[in-house]
Amino acid sequence: MSNDNHDHHTANGSRRTLLKLASLAATGAALRGAAGLAGTAALALQSGAARAQDSKVLRIGFQKYGNFVLLKARRTLETRLAPLGFTVQWLEFPGGPQLLEGVAAGAVDVGTVGETPPIFAQAGGVDFVYIASEPPAPLGEAIVVHQDSPIRTTADLRGKRVALNKGSNVHYLLVKALQNAGLKYEDIQPAYLAPADARAAFTSRSVDAWVIWDPYLAAIERQANARTIANGEHLVRNTQYYTASRSFANAHAPVVHALLEEVTAVDTWARDNVPAVAAQLAPLVGLDAATLEVALRRTGYGVQPVDSATLAYQQQIADTFSSLKLIPKKLTVADARWQSA
């Protein structure tokens, strides 16, 4: 079950599986938790160099949503890796971009992100590889406005102030939706805000629209009666990716394969037990189970290899952002493909 958030936010065959769903809830509890997440991310980056010396620790970067949250709670991965001499360290990040910065700093070995953060990370020189993906989840992200807003379609966003997390999965959704409506990116006023700040800006009406993913999306729909003017359907895939430091993946392929097998087991269970998953995630992410069920039912399930078609889709995203000068250079996405042992 897939996600994401980022100021160059880190992507899913299907838009963020369970992981994406459990993203930091935009409720009061989630807002309070955002500061803690940022602190954890900073701590991870500060002490990453020291931890990097211990090759027997698998450091997993996760966001407050999805499969990794469930896997962490179950501790089955720890049991699986013990015979290999590995322990597991879990590091929480507020979004994909920050998580991939952790990889760049040597503080994170493996993480899960949405489809856009890896593009910004690769453009920034982060040496990572795609190790798996999830099916697309196009309904798991959307552009929302207030119920009483005069904005009815994406075309009505001309000249409007639109909040989004720069570099996150929704950044690509916004670009494609604008193109589909005959608008240029320059026709709007982007407000680059992380989810907690974006929600505050949206509810205070200091922005006209918000581009956001689940479970923040489900939360604002249920709690503030936000209205969707466009989602990813027929526009983007909203794919979730599992990424790893290239050096770690190449040096410890058996550990990576074991991790993916354990995630697959959790994902398979989650697909068939949505109410139970929602109940388990609720206290962990600060959202009620009913809201999480909405998000979980429009996520994608199934951990799968990153095939050539998926990489071609990522290349399309990279080409789009380079043409808009949102990243500094053209990329060859296939350079980040993991040649699994």
What phi and psi, each to the nearest 5 degrees, are found at residue 116? -90, -40
Percentage of the chain with pLDDT > 70? 84
- The architecture in CATH of the region 139-231 reads 3-Layer(aba) Sandwich (3.40)
Q: What is the mean pLDDT of the chain?
A: 86
* pLDDT score at 55: 57
Lowest-pLDDT choice from 37-46, 161-170, 180-189, 314-323: 37-46
Q: Which residue has the tokens 């807002």?
A: 31
Distance of CA 11 to the CA centre of its chain: 5
Least confident of 20-24, 234-238, 309-313: 20-24
Spatial separation of the C-alpha atoms in residues 98 and 102, rounded to whole Å: 6
Q: What value does the CA radius of gyration of the chain take, rounded to a whole number of Å?
A: 18
Asked if residue 47 has pLDDT above 80, the reply is no
- pLDDT computed for residue 24 by the predictor: 33
Report the pLDDT value the prediction gives residue 4, as an integer from 0 to 100. 53
What are the boundaries of each domain within the chain? Answer: 18-137+238-336, 139-231
List the strands of the sheet with 189-192, edge to edge.
189-192, 161-164, 209-213, 141-145, 227-231
pLDDT surpasses 90 at 2: no
pTM (2 d.p.)? 0.81
Q: Which CATH number fits domain 18-137+238-336: 3.90.400.10, 3.40.47.10, 3.40.190.10, 2.40.100.10?
A: 3.40.190.10
**pLDDT tens column, 276-294:** 999 999 998 899 999 999 9
pLDDT digits (tens, 9 = 90+) for 306-329: 999 999 999 999 999 999 999 999
The alpha helices in the chain, defined as continuous H runs, are 18-21, 28-51, 67-74, 76-81, 96-104, 117-123, 169-180, 195-203, 216-224, 246-251, 253-272, 274-285, 289-296, 308-323
Q: Closest Cα to residue 295, out of 137, 59, 60?
A: 137
Residue 189 to residues 160, 162, 320, Cα–Cα distance (Å): 6, 6, 19
Element (H, E) at 236: none
